[in-house]
Chains A and B, each alone.
Chain A
Amino acid sequence: MTEALPPGIDQAFTVAAAELGMCSAAWLYVREVSDARGPEGVEALRERLGRTFPVLDAVAAVWLEGAREPTARTEAVRAALAGATRVVLVGLEAHFLDPLLPLLPGVDFALLRHATFDVNWERVLANYDGRLRPLDFDTFQAWAGSRSVLLTFAYGVHGASTHVIPSWLRVTGEDVRTQFRSLIAWDVLGAPMWVYPRWLVEVPKSAFTQVVAA
């Protein structure tokens, strides 16, 4: 069945994962492939890309087990951000972020421009029409403060640990941890990964002030 998938799907998924987030892109691709080719197509997608993209592999697995939508827990994240005036996003998951932003009209959001994949930041930010401000490593601390939050996306919780993108480790040094009111991880996967969690790093849950479960 692998042959049935378009030859450029690997590269296309890489771009989608970079610009939408690994979990958002995974759900998009699993849905599209399942609509076109059914469960066999999803199996083939998993076989073809799962080893390279473990989040896609996990999403395909839960889809094959019957799940049809990710669990967003947007309200729980909104509650976790109560009282915050500024949120710095470390990483992007468009499917999850998009419904959150309208719920927090008075909160300023910024996106740290650092990623594992090659990202066209101009295109990503254009999707948000000014709602996300760009920040870099040498400027993001300008958003620090006692009502500021660092928010990243996590990929499953297993015991006392979770997986996040490596940018999180680059950001949260000892100096920065005491400059932001909260350090929040939003688990957008809510499922175990079955292959080596490539592109991600394992961190203890205790590294966060709150982990919003999927």
Chain B
Amino acid sequence: MPPHAPPHARPAANATFVDPARVDLLLAPFVKDPASRAFVVRCLLGEGPTHHRGSNFVLLSLLGQVLEKVGGAPEGALDAEHPVPLRLPPHLAREAGPQSYPLGLSGAALERLAPKGSRDHESMVDCLCDGPPQHALANAAMVDLLHAVLLRLEARGS
């Protein structure tokens, strides 16, 4: 009987296809300042496990293609109502005050699913912003891109 392959025996995923410039361009309507945007892009594509970096690139790039096909981010797409928290150890967070990443999460997008101020709405924000920065920022970016796509489609009457 052949031995079972040990878990994770496949060669580690590589992410040589990741193109930070592409995602930087994609996020330009949502994070205006280039240095701040570079920080967000690095967190999305340059830090953490390789499979996160690669997945973030693929998903954001495909969403970017959808947005491009419907006309790009419209005016008013920037809605960073919910900041993505930059989490510090509790004793330092008390000293430093709340810190957040330069990319925020669209509250208007979530209002499509639950009224603003409702417990569900707040829970959605918590779910999307929790976890390591790679996850939280990717969630925020995808919600923001989807919000922009939906705005475009609604403007068309779709």
Contact = CB atoms under 8 A, between A and B. Distances in A.
A19 B99 CA distance: 33
A146 B47 contact: no
Interface residues of B, number: 22
B105 to A, nearest CB: 15
A211 to B, nearest CB: 15
Interface stretch (A37-45, A56-64, A136-144, A196-204): A136-144
Contacts of B88: 141-142, 144, 179
Interface string A167-196: 000000010011101100000000000000
Given A144-B86, A145-B86, A146-B100, A182 B92 contact: no
Contacts of A179: 86, 88, 99
Interface stretch (B32-40, B71-79, B138-146): B32-40
B42 interface: yes
Interface in B54-99: 86, 88-89, 92, 95-96, 99
A71 interface: no
Nearest to A82: B35
A141 B47 contact: no
A141 B33 CA distance: 23
B96 A146 contact: no
Contact of B38 (A139, A142, A143, A209): A209
B48 A146 contact: no
Given A82-B35, A178-B133, A179-B88, A145 B47 contact: no
Given A146-B100, A178-B47, A178-B134, A141 B35 contact: no
A179 B89 CA distance: 11
A83 interface: yes
A146 B31 CA distance: 12
Contacts of B101: 146
Contact of B35 (A142, A145, A177, A181): A181
Contact of B92 (A83, A142, A177, A178): A142
B107 interface: no
A135 to B, nearest CB: 11
Nearest to A183: B42
Interface in A61-102: 82-83
Interface of B: 33, 35-36, 38-39, 42-43, 47-48, 86, 88-89, 92, 95-96, 99-102, 132-134
Interface of A: 82-83, 139, 141-147, 174, 177-179, 181-182, 209
Given A144-B88, A178-B86, 14 more contacts: A83-B33, A83-B35, A83-B36, A141-B88, A141-B89, A142-B88, A144-B96, A146-B36, A146-B39, A146-B100, A146-B102, A179-B86, A179-B88, A181-B39
15 contacts: A141-B88, A141-B89, A141-B96, A142-B92, A142-B95, A143-B96, A144-B88, A146-B36, A146-B99, A146-B100, A147-B36, A178-B48, A179-B88, A181-B35, A209-B42
